[in-house]
């Protein structure tokens, strides 16, 4: 069964460093998302991406964050200068199109900023 | 701020027990309600997507109901098994957004053999 994959599973970085989290969505999906869950808190929406542009972003998704779909398969989240409070589990999700509501999630990347 | 609440936060049951938990959400501007099952280190697994008031969905021993007028959904597990141990998340999609989901905090279910 097709699945969303994410790499790495765990990333440790120092404050101020740039990180890139990678996702490979399901191949025929058209809509892509990033969510995150800070330990002990709710999963929260960061950004949605369709047709090679951001369609919606939350207030968390400030200028330090960017997303890209550099080729036909990868979908990346970049954090330019990480802060301690960026430590969280980051989930990628994708879905096919407007008639199918299901979002399929990857297993997440745990980002630890020290 | 859209608030999706789940209760209880955690639940311990014995194998064979039936159990249920609740997701509550604002009833205005409802579009769809999702249930996910999430085991640690794995991808959250989609269980149900519910859109219509009165919807009832079933997948094996797990079922869910939806009341959009009063803003709640119940998830039921019949005859719990240890492999049902997981966090169960509900997530709301409101009308008008680009299909972003707003999640509850989840219910952590532990089924003891």
Residue B58 near chain A (CB below 8 Å): no
Residue A104 phi, psi (nearest 5): -105, 130
Which of B24, B94, B101 to mutate to probe the A interface, most A CBs <10 Å?
Answer: B101
Q: How many CB atoms lie within 10 A of CB B15?
A: 12
Give the pLDDT score at B97: 64
Is-contact A49 A67, C-beta < 8 A?
Answer: yes
CB-CB neighbours of B24 under 10 Å: 18
Mean residue pLDDT of chain B comes to 94
Res B41: pLDDT: 87
Q: pLDDT at residue A1 above 90?
A: no
Cα B1 to Cα A59, B26, B102: the distances in Å are 12, 10, 10
A-proximal residues of B, 63-102, CB under 8 Å: 89, 91, 93, 97-102
pLDDT in tens, B4-31: 999 999 999 999 999 999 999 998 889 9
pLDDT value at B110 more than 70: yes
Query: Each residue of B29-70: pLDDT tens digit?
Result: 899 999 999 998 899 999 999 999 999 999 999 999 999 999
Nearest-CB residue to B103 (from A42, A101, A108): A42
pLDDT band at B103 (very low <50, low <70, confident <90, very high): very high
Say whether pLDDT at B80 is over 70: yes
pLDDT digits (tens, 9 = 90+) for A52-81: 999 999 999 999 999 999 887 899 999 999
Residue A102 has pLDDT above 90, yes or no: no
């Amino acid at each position: 069964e097709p699945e969303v994959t994410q790499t790495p599973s765990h990333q440790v970085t120092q404050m101020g460093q740039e990180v890139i989290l990678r996702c490979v969505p399901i191949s025929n999906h058209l809509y892509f998302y990033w969510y995150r869950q800070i330990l002990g808190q709710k999963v929260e929406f960061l950004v949605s991406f369709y047709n090679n542009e951001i369609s919606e972003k939350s207030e968390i998704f400030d200028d330090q964050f960017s997303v890209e779909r550099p080729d036909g398969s990868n979908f990346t989240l970049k954090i330019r200068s990480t802060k301690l409070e960026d430590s969280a589990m980051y989930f990628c999700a994708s879905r096919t199109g407007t008639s199918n509501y299901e979002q399929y999630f990857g297993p997440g990347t745990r980002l630890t900023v020290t | 701020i859209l608030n999706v609440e789940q209760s209880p936060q955690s639940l311990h049951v014995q194998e064979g027990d039936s159990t249920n938990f609740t997701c509550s959400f604002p009833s205005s501007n409802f579009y769809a309600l999702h249930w996910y099952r999430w085991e640690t280190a794995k991808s959250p697994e989609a269980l149900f997507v519910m859109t219509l008031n009165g919807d009832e969905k079933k997948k094996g021993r797990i079922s869910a109901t939806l009341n959009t007028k009063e803003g709640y959904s119940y998830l039921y597990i019949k005859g719990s098994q240890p492999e049902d141990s997981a966090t169960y998340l509900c997530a709301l999609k409101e009308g008008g957004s680009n299909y972003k989901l707003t999640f509850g905090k989840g219910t952590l279910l532990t089924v003891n053999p």
